[in-house]
Amino acid sequence: MQTNRAIIFSAAAAAAAAAATSWYSVRKLSQSNKPLSRPAEAVAQAEPRKVALIINPSKSGGENATQAVARVCAEAGLDEPLIFNTTVQNAGQDAAQKALAAGCDTIVAAGGDGTIRAVAEALEGTQTTLGIIPLGTGNLLARNVQIPLDDLQTAAFVAVRGTVRRIDVGHMKLNLLDGSTADHAFLVIAGVGTDADLFDDTDEEMKSKVGWLAYSQAGLRQLPGRRKRVHFKLSGDSNWQTRKVRSVLFANVGKLQGLDFVPDAKLDDGVLDAVVLSPRSAAGWTWIFLKTAFRAKNKIPVMSFYQTSGISLRCAEPMNTQIDGDPTGQVNELEVSVSPGSLRLRTP
C-alpha cells in the first residue's frame, strides 16, 4: 500500500512540475531572445522590385495572406505579386524555381516550416531574399526571428519590406536503408532518434485540430523507449565517440515552442549546436525538461551540447530522422553540415 501511495505521489508531483514549467515557458514566449548575433547586412537591394508569393493551399489563411501581401506591394508602388501554389508532390522547390526564373528578387513563403524550408532550398546561395508568413502548426522559424503569428498584415509587411539578414542553412545528408542518399536543407532543427519517432507517430488529423499539442500525445508514447548505440565524430576530430542515446539533435536555432532548448544556438553564427539526449527513463526526460524550462546553467549527464561546423554519425541499428519536424526516413549513417550566411531572410 505504501509503495502504491509513493507511486501516486510521485506521479502527482511530476504532473504538477510539468504544469508549472509549462506555464512558465509560455510566459517566456513573450520575452525577447532573438537568435541573431550579427547586425543586418548593408545591402544595395533593400527594397524589393519584383515579389512572388508561394502558398501552401492546405493551410488556412492563404487567401488572407494573398490579400495582405498584395496590399503591401501596392503601398510600396510595386506590381501585384506573382502567385504560386505548392503541391502534394512538391513542397515549394519547383514554385520557387519558377519565381526565380520570372526575375523575382523577394519570394514570400506562406505556410508551415516545411513550406518555408522547401522554398529556402531553392533560394540558398542566390541574391533573392526569402520572406515568410507563418501559417503552420509549429512556425518555429517565425517564432525564433519574432515574426508575429497573429498579425497577418504585419507579417506580410516584414516578409516584403523587412530588414535583410544573412542566416545559416543546415544540411543533413542521409544514407537511407534502401541504399539511396538524400540531402536536405534545414533552417530550424534536424535530428535522429526519439524526436524523429515522435514526428513520425503524430496523428495528422489531430494535428490539424489542436495544433502543436498533438505532438504531446505522440511524445508520451515515445517516452518508454530504449536507448540506442551511436558513433559520432565532430568536424576536425579524428576520434569517434560512442554513446547510447535517445536522440541526437542538430540545431540552427534554439527556441522551441517557448522553451530555450539550445540557448547558445544562433541563426547566423556559422556553426550548428548538436545536442545529445541520453535519458534512461521518464525521470531523465523530466530532468531535461526542468533544466530547459528554468534555463539552468549546470550540466546534466543526460544532455550534452557540442558546437561544430559538421558531424558524422553512425547508428548501430536503423533510426528515424527528421528535418524541421518532417520525417525523412530511417538511416544507419548520416552527415550534417552548415552553410554560413547562405540565405537572405527578411526579419522585423
Locate the DSSP E strands across the chain: 51-55, 82-85, 106-111, 129-134, 163-176, 181-186, 189-193, 228-234, 241-245, 247-251, 255-256, 259-260, 272-277, 303-308, 310-323, 326-347
Q: Count CA within 13 A, CB hemisphere, residue 24.
A: 15
Q: How far apart (Å, rounded) are the C-alpha atoms in residues 308 and 17?
A: 33
pLDDT digits (tens, 9 = 90+) for 46-69: 689 999 999 999 999 999 999 999
Q: Model-level pTM?
A: 0.84
Q: Which residues contact 267 (CB under 8 A, 6 or more apart)?
A: 35, 36, 144, 145, 165, 167, 168, 252, 253
Question: Is 17 a residue whose pLDDT tops 80?
Answer: no
Question: Is 9 a residue whose pLDDT tops 50?
Answer: no
Same domain (yes/no): 88, 162: yes
Virtual torsion, Cα 218, 221, 227, 233, nearest 10 deg: 0
Q: Is residue 9 in a domain?
A: no
| Backbone φ and ψ of 66, nearest 5° | -60, -45
pLDDT digits (tens, 9 = 90+) for 199-211: 766 656 655 555 5
Q: Which residues contact 148 (CB under 8 A, 6 or more apart)?
A: 154, 155
Q: Is residue 37 in a domain?
A: no
pLDDT mean over 177-197: 93
Query: What is the DSSP code (8-state) at residue 161?
Result: H
Residue 316 is placed in which grid cell?
548501430
Tell me whether residue 1 is exposed, middle or buried, using C-beta atoms within 10 angstroms of its C-beta: 0 to 12, 13 to 18, 19 or more: exposed
Q: Which residues contact 196 (CB under 8 A, 6 or more apart)?
A: 247, 319, 320, 321, 322, 327, 328
Q: Is residue 326 in a domain?
A: yes
pLDDT grade for 259, boundaries at 50, 70 and 90: confident
- Among 115, 139, 167, which residue terminates a domain? 167
CATH number of the structural domain spanning residue 134: 3.40.50.10330
Query: What is the DSSP code (8-state) at residue 300?
Result: B
Whether 85 and 66 have beta carbons less than 8 Å apart is answered as no
Grid cell 549527464 is found at: 301
If one counts the domains in the chain, the total is 2
Hey, which residues does 232 pair with through a beta bridge? 241, 313
pLDDT mean over 307-329: 95
pLDDT mean over 130-153: 94
Question: Is 16 a residue whose pLDDT tops 60?
Answer: no
- Among 150, 167, 184, which residue terminates a domain? 167
Domain coverage including residue 71? 51-167
The Cα-based distances of 121 to 65, 88, 91 in angstroms read 22, 17, 11
Residue 317 is placed in which grid cell?
541499428
Whether 75 and 161 have beta carbons less than 8 Å apart is answered as no
| Backbone φ and ψ of 7, nearest 5° | -65, -45
Residue 31 burial (CB count, 10 A): 8
- Among 129, 147, 167, which residue terminates a domain? 167
Question: Is 242 a residue whose pLDDT tops 60?
Answer: yes
pLDDT mean over 133-159: 94
Which pLDDT score, from 0 to 100, does residue 14 have? 39
Which pLDDT score, from 0 to 100, does residue 138 have? 85
Q: How far apart (Å, rounded) are the C-alpha atoms in residues 129 and 51?
A: 10
Q: Which residues contact 95 (CB under 8 A, 6 or more apart)?
A: 54, 84, 85, 86, 119
Same domain (yes/no): 106, 153: yes
Same domain (yes/no): 105, 225: no
Q: Is residue 26 in a domain?
A: no
Q: Is residue 24 in a domain?
A: no
Same domain (yes/no): 179, 293: yes
pLDDT grade for 4, boundaries at 50, 70 and 90: very low
Q: How far apart (Å, rounded) are the C-alpha atoms in residues 45 and 42?
A: 9
